[in-house]
Amino acid sequence: MYKTVSRLLRIRVPRVACNSLVRTAAVSQARCASTSEVDKPNFPGSKSKFVSQPFLLDPDDMEGIPVYRAMNRDGVFIDESQDPKFDDNTILKMYKDMTLLNTMDRVLYDSQRQGRISFYMTNYGEEGTHIGSAAALDPKDLVFGQYREVGVLMWRGFPLIQFIHQCYGNCKDLGKGRQMPVHYGAKDYHFVTISSSLATQMPQASGAAYAYKRKKNGLCVICYFGEGAASEGDAHAAFNFAAVLDCPVIFFCRNNGYAISTPTKEQYRGDGIAARAAGYGIPCIRVDGNDVFAVYNATKLARDLCTTQNRPVVIEAMTYRIGHHSTSDDSSAYRSVDEVNQHDRSDNPITRFRNYMNRRGVWDEEKEKQWKLDSRKMVMKAFAEAENEKKGNPESFFEDVYKEMPPHIAKQRDAMKQHVKQYKEHYPLEHFQPMS
């Protein structure tokens, strides 16, 4: 029995592709059962057979869910059929977005250290999960991020300077400076504003996917979350509802080894997040998150199933958070610098992709050197521009609490304006856009 289970798990991935066949098979099996002599359990809510010996189904006896990868560490396709055959321009865009993200992270991280912005979170080591998944989506698929998915927005063409406007919370920030840095949100790019409360985006993604199913718009929803967030009750609700309501949502877990300081071994006992999917009746795939092509192929497969069959899919992308959790964290307190360096050297998604590009002949040392200079220049230019922008009009602080401003809020606003006008010498109004 144990072996049967592990065999089932092992062939789980190919089954995703031919799911309609699986369903047909199940139906015909049920029909057979009703006419055959075999005594089968007839309890509501379960499908299996009787056995006459008791045994405990121990997950420790099962083989773990395999990790799908397309390229080895040297950037060589293991199976040529897994090459998505991108043209040179797409390859270059993927690489440039991954590395621009990296450069932006360095500049903004340092700027927080210099006290120029209040907070920052880097994406080091997870660039492959962002770009690989974003490239496989329709640009109109709705994204619910957790907070470390900046590459997805970058892939969609969100201007570099807008990221920095947001981190500065200046008057050009689409969020009107209302949130902490990295809480991006962009309606035009179908990216829902980041929520600080962990995992609230998960049931919301299921709900949005339900709305998309009703609209029959051919789109799906993707929900990013970490392996730590998966311990929240919201995650359970999101999985269960999406499965029961047949919602076209991709649950994309970035399993990066740490939830702030908590390592995975203290976060869960089972075989990662992918192993939970079967319990909810959700197809899943585990993928090497440091292999951009594998992430792309897996997301493409998931998206196809989502949009053609209105079913949720769990993707667990195995990766490693090379940076600290945020600027409020020093990870050397709970993991060694050697461990981090080892991951950075041996498993960096950017290095692997660059190896592939070098081999393909679209990239070389010279181009790398030039791009490093160019990309840094781009970031510094945007940075300087954003830093010089004024803060928003203080009045806007009272807007968007309700669709229409109620009188009591208008009263607060007017009182503030009156006060600031009267005592303007005490306020740094020169840094703000003028009030009306």
Partner 1 sequence: MATLCKTISSVTRSATKLNQFSRLLSTSQRCSVQMAVRDALNTAMDEEIERDEKVFILGEEVGQYNGAYKVTKGLWEKWGDKRVMDTPITEMGFAGIAVGAAMAGLRPVCEFMTFNFSMQAIDQVINSAAKTYYMSAGQVPVPIVFRGPNGAAAGVGAQHSQCFASWYSQCPGLIVASPYSSEDARGLLKAAIRNENPVVFLENELMYGTSFEVSDEALGKDFLIPFGKAKIERAGSHITLVAHSKSVGLCLEAANELVGQGVECEVINLRTLRPLDDQTIIESVMKTNHLVTVESGWHHCGIGAEVVALVMESPAFNYLDAPVLRVTGADVPMPYAKSLEDLALPQVKNVLTAVRKSLNIS
Which range in 23-31, 103-111, 213-221, 349-357 contacts partner 1 by CB under 8 A?
Answer: 213-221
- Helix, strand, coil tally for the chain in percent (to 5): 50, 10, 40
Q: Name the one range near partner 1 by CB under 8 A: 11-19, 56-64, 190-198, 297-305.
A: 190-198
Q: Take residue 97 and report the two structure tokens written for it.
A: 């977005």
Q: Give the nearest distance from C-beta 202 to partner 1 in angstroms.
A: 7
In the region spanning residues 123 to 162, those forming contacts with partner 1, defined by CB under 8 A, are 142, 144
Distance CA 314, CA 222 (A): 10
Which x/- pattern, by CB under 8 A, does the window 310-329 give for partner 1?
--------------------
Q: Does 395 bind partner 1 (CB under 8 A)?
A: no
Amino acid at site 73: R
- Give 288's DSSP letter: E
Considering the complex, state which of residue 307 and residue 375 has its C-beta at the smaller distance from partner 1.
307
- Choices 112-120, 195-203, 259-267, 298-306 (CB under 8 A): range interacting with partner 1: 195-203
In whole angstroms, the minimum distance from the beta carbon of 418 to partner 1 comes to 17
353 vs 290: CA distance, rounded Å: 9
Does 1 sit near partner 1 (CB under 8 A)? no
Given candidates 4, 36, 197, 436, which one binds partner 1 under the rule CB under 8 A? 197
280 binds partner 1 (CB under 8 A): no
Q: Is 132 helix (H, G, I), strand (E, B) or coil?
A: helix
- Check if the beta carbon of residue 315 is closer than 8 Å to that of residue 250: yes
Distances (CA, A) of 225 to 60, 195, 269, 289: 26, 12, 18, 14
Q: Which residues of 342-353 are buried (b: 16+ CB within 10 A; e: fewer)?
A: ebbeebbbbbbb
Distance CA 167, CA 6 (A): 47
Of 175 and 228, which has the nearer Cβ to partner 1?
175
Considering only CA atoms, which of 276, 254, 257 is closest in space to residue 267? 257
Q: Which CB sits closer to partner 1, 88 or 400?
A: 400
- Binding residues with partner 1: total (CB under 8 A): 49
Q: Cα Rg for the chain, rounded, in angstroms?
A: 25
Q: What is the DSSP letter of 49?
A: -
Backbone φ, ψ for residue 192 (5° rounding): -70, 140
Q: Is 214 in the site for partner 1 (CB under 8 A)?
A: yes
Q: Which stretch binds partner 1 (CB under 8 A): 99-107, 148-156, 170-178, 321-329?
A: 170-178
Residue (190 or 321) nearer to partner 1, CB: 190
Judged by CB, which is closer to partner 1: 136, or 199?
Answer: 199
Interaction residues for partner 1, span 406-425 (CB under 8 A): 406-409
Contact 60, 270 (CB under 8 A): no
Under 8 Å between Cβ of 84 and 297: yes
Strands (E), 173-212: 191-192
Which amino acid is residue 422, in one-letter code? Q
One-letter amino acid of 253: C
Q: How far is the CB of 29 from partner 1 (least distance, A)?
A: 26
- Per the listing, tokens 């740490």 go with 258
**Could you say whether residue 241 binds partner 1 (CB under 8 A)?**
yes
Out of 159, 233, 279, 434, which residue is the one contacting partner 1 (CB under 8 A)? 233
Q: Is 221 helix (H, G, I), strand (E, B) or coil?
A: strand
Asked if 46 interacts with partner 1 (CB under 8 A), we say: no
- Cβ proximity to partner 1: between 212 and 432 the closer is 212
Q: What's the min distance (Å) between Cβ of 408 and partner 1?
A: 6
Q: Is 216 in the site for partner 1 (CB under 8 A)?
A: no
Q: Which is nearer to partner 1, 102 or 162 (CB)?
A: 162
Q: Does 174 bind partner 1 (CB under 8 A)?
A: yes
195 lies in the site for partner 1, by CB under 8 A: yes
User: Hey, which residues does 192 pair with through a beta bridge?
Assistant: 144
> What is the binding site for partner 1 (CB under 8 A)?
142, 144, 173-176, 178-179, 183, 185-187, 192-193, 195, 197, 200, 202-212, 214-215, 221, 233-234, 236-238, 240-241, 244-245, 399-403, 406-409
